[in-house]
């Protein structure tokens, strides 16, 4: 029920992680340039006086001129730190910093941790309430019950920004999402289920309140604590617990669980015994969320009741109840509509969105991260915490609910644009490629996946089809259908698979290939062998014969070998030089690097052609190209014998009068750093280059691979440009997502 993980590490490793380099886990980074006197004058005095006056006149403009609208305070007094109890405000700081990191990592919400050194409820409330001008939202954390109830409720009443105690509501939302799906799988309705909640603290009460708000009946819920069932005749319970006191003659957890449909455990390890599980209703639903050790281990619960659906707070078991599935995106949606609070409608919307996501196919990157191949079912009722789709689905659901329930002060008018902006916040690659994805959907194409027996390729083909980008055409043997079924495809026969051993196209392929290669020293039987045994040859022939619009390969062979095989079947486009482009995508920039894969030492004409074609690719991806021909030398300093080709290439583009900026020869720092570029006022680039033309394959390929391995930006490619047919050769390390990207680029017409 928390953000904890079962990953093992030593205490020393944990301390080193937090202490090495810059101590802690967060830092403040300026969002505006602060390199010059003018920058500082604008950022502070005297320039800052202008937005000060604007905000004084209209407080709402604080969201326009400051970071308030994307800033959340994570606040604690350290009275209930994780499962360790009251260790004080200062000891809670590593946890609060961690929470701030999660906000940024998962939802691009800026966050500052504040540790308040008081256990006095009124003092804490006054401290937090006075901070309202600084923040767009307040995330309360690790505050013990029952004080947390008073604190949150009072702050919600006093403050006009979202206040959210994640220990309560985050757990409740994820639990509710799992419960929705567990009921769906077992044919139950929320209105009919009988629920036992074991635990009467903050999270337990929040879970109980939320499921009741979603339709679970008051008289169908029994809450228990260490003393047993909380019932109407029992004394010594607080006002928050008494709100859930039941009219019942059951007094113990054992009695409460007799015939129960659901167990929600927010208590202690070992609280639920196997014999109690046996006494529950058929197909019992068990949420054992005590951390780090659940109320019952899933293997013990399964041994007692094989039909049980089980969730825990641990990452080493299926169905992890992890708050990170909710709170970043709940705040994202709330901040984006400037909500005045987070109400039940928004929580329910978040729970439904999370539940819906679990019913969709698991993306490849999530499968890799968790080593799972699950589709929706008893072992996958809650999506994995790193599912990238959470950002869009949950944030949108929360924003809509805020608008519908009247707490949004800035409604979103263009929801499609909002969805795109959410995708762009955390995955700039998606923003850059949005045109290609939309083009692929609008004009679906047939893409041949040459290595159709590889799991990563099959995952890519599934994603390509399910995304609506087109039809995947798989090359492989008969067991491809079995492999698809193992990946959760109910009807593998719906996929088109071509097997060279029995394809009726083989005779035509052999004729075609032999006609191409007979005067290059190849015998017919050699052509037959290549068609029958080489997947790249077979796939390329499928493309030549019109069975597909594009082809993807590369994960089983080196790039040079793959392109050599493809060229036996497919020629370069007449008048064009084939070459490769790597695309470097950062938060605020995109850079195209060419040629990174094909031409060892291009001459002037080839360099000019590569520059022109790369500029066209940049334009197709929505960028105005600024081309730099890179070298170790900047405009002849130092002189060298490798500069003539570059200078001649610049002259070629001059003669062609191409419609984009270009310049060279120049070193990378001059091409990319505006301050360096200013040293050459005659240079024709109006800003940093975004198309880098490399002088040779050695430097290009080394640079691209170094950037892929060491750089912090996303890397797309290589994209193969200039072939007669659209062929893309991925790196051997490509993930399914990268293969899909190449397929979409090909299908959408960006890579050609």
DSSP structure class, residue 552: E
Q: Residue written as tokens 């999660």? A: 102
* Residue 85 annotated as part of some ligand binding site: yes
d(CA 116, CA 89): 6
Residue of 297, 332, 333, 327 whose CA lies nearest to 312: 297
* Residue 291 annotated as part of some ligand binding site: yes
The number of beta carbons lying within 10 Å of the beta carbon of residue 679 is 10
Task: Report the alpha-carbon angle 291-292-298, nearest 5.
Answer: 85
* Residue 488 annotated as part of some ligand binding site: no
* Residue 575 annotated as part of some ligand binding site: no
Query: Which one of the listed residues 68, 99, 302, 347 is annotated catalytic?
Result: 99
- Is 212 part of the annotated catalytic residue set? no
Residue 441 corresponds to which tokens in the numbers above? 């959907």
**DSSP-assigned states of every residue in 80-110:** SBTTTB---TGGGHHHHHHHHHHHHHHH--E
Residue of 547, 565, 555, 596 whose CA lies nearest to 701: 596
d(CA 260, CA 645): 80
Q: Which ranges constitute the DSSP H helices of 112-201?
A: 121-129, 147-158, 166-186
* Residue 167 annotated as part of some ligand binding site: yes
* Residue 83 annotated as part of some ligand binding site: yes
* Residue 81 annotated as part of some ligand binding site: yes
* Residue 141 annotated as part of some ligand binding site: yes
* Residue 346 annotated as part of some ligand binding site: no
Pairing state between β 445-449 and 262-265: unpaired
Residue 365 corresponds to which tokens in the numbers above? 């990157």
* Residue 84 annotated as part of some ligand binding site: yes
Contacts 24+ apart (CB under 8 A), 577-580: 577/602, 577/606, 577/609, 577/610, 577/613, 577/722, 578/720, 578/721, 578/722, 578/723, 579/606, 579/610, 579/613, 579/614, 579/720, 579/721, 579/722, 580/717, 580/718, 580/719, 580/720, 580/721
d(CA 452, CA 465): 14
Return the percent helix, strand and coil in the chain, to nearest 5: 45, 15, 40
Q: What is the 3-state secondary structure (H, E, C) of 182-225?
A: HHHHHCCCCCCCCEEEECCCHHHHHHHHHHHHCCCCHHHEEEEE
d(CA 263, CA 515): 71
The number of beta carbons lying within 10 Å of the beta carbon of residue 640 is 12
Pairing state between β 71-76 and 110-115: parallel
Residue of 507, 465, 473 whose CA lies nearest to 489: 465
DSSP structure class, residue 454: S
Residues within the annotated binding site for a divalent metal cation? 141-142, 167, 291
Catalytic residues: 99
Q: Which residues are annotated as a binding site?
A: 81-88, 141-142, 167, 291
Question: Which residues contribute to the annotated binding site for NADP(+)?
Answer: 81-88
């Amino acid at each position: 029920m928390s953000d904890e993980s079962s990953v093992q590490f030593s205490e020393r490793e944990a301390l080193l992680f937090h202490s090495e380099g810059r101590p802690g886990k967060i830092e403040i980074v300026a969002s505006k340039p602060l390199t010059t006197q003018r920058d500082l004058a604008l950022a502070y005095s005297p320039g800052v006086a202008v937005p000060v006056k604007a905000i004084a006149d209209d407080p709402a403009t604080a969201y326009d001129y400051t970071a308030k609208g994307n800033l959340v305070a994570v606040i604690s007094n350290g009275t209930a730190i994780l499962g360790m109890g009251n260790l004080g405000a200062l000891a809670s700081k590593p946890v609060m910093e961690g929470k701030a990191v999660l906000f940024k990592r998962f939802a691009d919400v800026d966050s500052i941790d504040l540790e308040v050194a008081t256990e006095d409820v009124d003092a804490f409330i006054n401290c937090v309430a006075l901070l309202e001008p600084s923040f767009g939202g307040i995330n309360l954390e690790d505050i013990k019950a029952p004080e947390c109830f008073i604190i949150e409720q009072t702050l919600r009443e006093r403050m006009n920004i979202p206040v959210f105690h994640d220990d309560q509501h985050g757990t409740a939302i994820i639990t509710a999402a799992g419960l929705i799906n567990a009921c769906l799988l077992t044919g139950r309705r929320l209105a009919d289920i009988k629920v036992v909640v074991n635990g009467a603290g903050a999270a337990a009460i929040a879970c109980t309140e939320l499921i009741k708000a979603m339709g679970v009946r008051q008289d169908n819920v029994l809450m228990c604590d260490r003393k047993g069932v909380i019932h109407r005749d029992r004394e010594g319970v607080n006002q928050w617990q008494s709100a859930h006191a039941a009219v019942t003659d059951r007094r113990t957890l054992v009695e409460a669980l007799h015939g129960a449909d659901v167990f929600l455990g927010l208590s202690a390890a070992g609280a639920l015994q196997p014999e109690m599980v046996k006494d529950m209703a058929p197909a019992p639903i068990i949420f054992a969320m005590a951390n780090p050790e659940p109320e019952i281990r899933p293997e013990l619960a399964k041994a007692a009741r094989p039909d049980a659906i089980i969730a825990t707070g641990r990452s080493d078991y299926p169905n992890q109840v992890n708050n990170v599935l909710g709170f970043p995106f709940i705040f994202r949606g709330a901040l984006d509509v400037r909500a005045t609070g987070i109400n039940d409608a928004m929580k329910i919307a978040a729970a439904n969105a999370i539940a819906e996501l679990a019913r969709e196919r698991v993306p490849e990157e999530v499968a890799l991260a968790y080593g799972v191949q699950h589709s929706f079912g008893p072992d996958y009722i809650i999506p994995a915490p790193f599912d990238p789709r959470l950002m869009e689905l949950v944030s949108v659901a929360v924003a809509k609910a805020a608008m519908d329930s009247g707490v949004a002060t800035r409604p979103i008018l263009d929801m499609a644009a909002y969805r795109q902006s959410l995708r762009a916040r955390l995955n700039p690659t998606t923003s850059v490629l949005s045109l290609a994805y939309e083009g692929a959907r609008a004009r679906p194409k047939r893409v041949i996946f040459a290595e159709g027996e590889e799991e990563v390729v099959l995952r890519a083909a599934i994603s390509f089809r399910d995304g609506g980008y087109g039809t995947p055409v798989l090359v492989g043997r008969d067991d491809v259908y079995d492999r698809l079924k193992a990946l959760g495809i109910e009807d593998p026969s719906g996929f088109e698979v071509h097997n060279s051993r029995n394809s009726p196209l083989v005779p035509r392929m052999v004729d075609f290939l032999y006609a191409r290669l007979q005067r290059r020293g190849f015998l017919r039987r050699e052509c037959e062998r290549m068609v029958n045994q080489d997947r790249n040859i077979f796939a390329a022939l499928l493309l030549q014969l019109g069975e597909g619009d594009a082809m993807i390969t590369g994960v089983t062979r080196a790039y040079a070998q793959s392109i050599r095989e493809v060229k036996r079947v497919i020629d370069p486009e007449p008048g064009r030089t084939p070459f490769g482009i790597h695309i470097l995508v950062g938060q605020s920039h995109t850079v195209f690097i060419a040629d990174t894969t094909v031409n060892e030492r291009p001459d002037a004409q080839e360099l000019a052609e590569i520059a022109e074609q790369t500029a066209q690719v940049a334009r197709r991806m929505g960028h105005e190209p600024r081309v730099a021909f890179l070298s170790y030398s900047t405009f002849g300093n130092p002189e060298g014998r490798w500069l003539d080709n570059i200078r001649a290439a610049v002259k070629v583009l001059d003669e062609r009068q191409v419609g984009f900026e270009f310049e060279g020869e120049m070193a990378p720092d001059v091409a990319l750093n505006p301050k360096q570029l200013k040293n050459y006022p005659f240079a024709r680039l109006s800003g940093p280059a975004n198309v880098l033309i490399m002088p040779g394959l050695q430097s290009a390929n080394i640079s691209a691979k170094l950037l892929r391995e060491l750089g912090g930006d996303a890397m797309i490619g290589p994209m193969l440009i200039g072939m007669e047919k659209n062929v893309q050769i991925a790196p051997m390390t490509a993930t399914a997502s990268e293969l899909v990207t190449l397929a979409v680029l090909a299908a959408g017409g960006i890579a050609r």
